[in-house]
Amino acid sequence: MSEPASFEHFSPQLSLAAFPGVSYAKASALMQEPVAEPWLGRIGTREVQIVPQLCREQLTDEIVGELASTFPESQFRLHANVRVGERHLLRADISAARCHNDYFRELARVSKLLQAPAYTAHAGRREFSTFDEMIANALKLSDLFGCAVGVEGHYPTPHEPNAYHVDSWETYRALLESGVPYALDLSHLNIVAHYERKFEANLVGDMLACERCLEVHLSDNNGRADQHAVLETEPTWWSLLRHVHRGAVVFSEGNQLKQLRNTSA
């Protein structure tokens, strides 16, 4: 195995996507142990991304308080359709924001309680909005949250073609040119490259360097599905991380639970 590379201007931070299916209490316990990936090395907790994969458990004010008191040196932020109400809304994304006004108001309240510097969510499905309407929704959400709101792109889904906004190199370029902040998931781009049979390195470099890139998400996959695997060897896009601007937060989304199971097997 090759040795992990390092870049002085960033260190990978923890996304709770690393602990899918567990409770907030369990995730909190796991965060207090060293977290690392074979290729990335030690994962920091200076910035922590809260995600909906946490057992679909409701994020209450009490849990927010417990996280803040347990990890006073960590800055938490929300990502995507975190459950903050009685029901978990599967399609509460940016394209459908106008269909879920009450949900996003509550999510914004919790985000402010966390004093989060940013919020990111998936672009969402084409059936709920045009591309321009989706972009307008992101700008309105920024006003609601009182912080930058970033659009995260998708990838091709052969079983459901053209279902999602931002699922091709063409639409990622449109996102860059839209003027809104965004999150760039490099594992998603690995899937785009697989199905389009090309990797647009110049575009990816430009998107990483742009000051509107709020977050960079890292994990591995086979190019066909979003597997959230840990990085064990150098991925295709690794050298492009030199373009990441200093204001972006780089999050590791590799599944630590699967890695632990494989290690103990």
- 141: enclosing H helix or E strand: helix 131-145
Q: Is the pLDDT reported for residue 186 higher than 80? A: yes
Tell me what the mean pLDDT of segment 177-205 comes to: 98
Q: What is the pLDDT at residue 1?
A: 34
3-state secondary structure of 94: coil
pLDDT beyond 50 at 222: yes
Residue 8: pLDDT band with limits 50, 70, 90: low
Mean pLDDT, range 196-205, rounded to an integer: 98
Q: Measured between alpha carbons, how far is 223 from 213 in angstroms, rounded to an integer?
A: 23
Sorted by sequence, the CB contacts under 8 Å of residue 3 that are 6+ apart come out as none
Residue 263 pLDDT grade (very low, low, confident, very high; cuts 50, 70, 90): low
**Least confident stretch, 88-92, 179-183, 210-214, 226-230:** 88-92
In 51-117, which ranges are E strands? 75-78
- Region for 82 from its dihedrals, namely left if φ exceeds 0, alpha if ψ lies in -120 to 50, beta otherwise: beta
pLDDT band of 10, cuts 50, 70, 90? confident
Give CA–CA dist 31/47, Å, rounded: 12
| More confident: 107 or 8 | 107
3-state secondary structure of 223: coil
User: Who's near 159: CB < 8 A, 6+ residues apart?
Assistant: none
Give the pairing type, strands 36-37 and 41-42.
Answer: antiparallel
Is the pLDDT score of 81 beyond 90? Answer: yes
Give kind and range of the element (H or E) at residue 44: strand 44-50
Q: How many CA atoms lie within 13 A of 44 on its CB side?
A: 13
Q: Is the pTM of this model over 0.85?
A: yes
Q: Where is pLDDT greater, at 77 or 262? A: 77
Mean pLDDT over each residue of the chain, to the nearest integer: 94
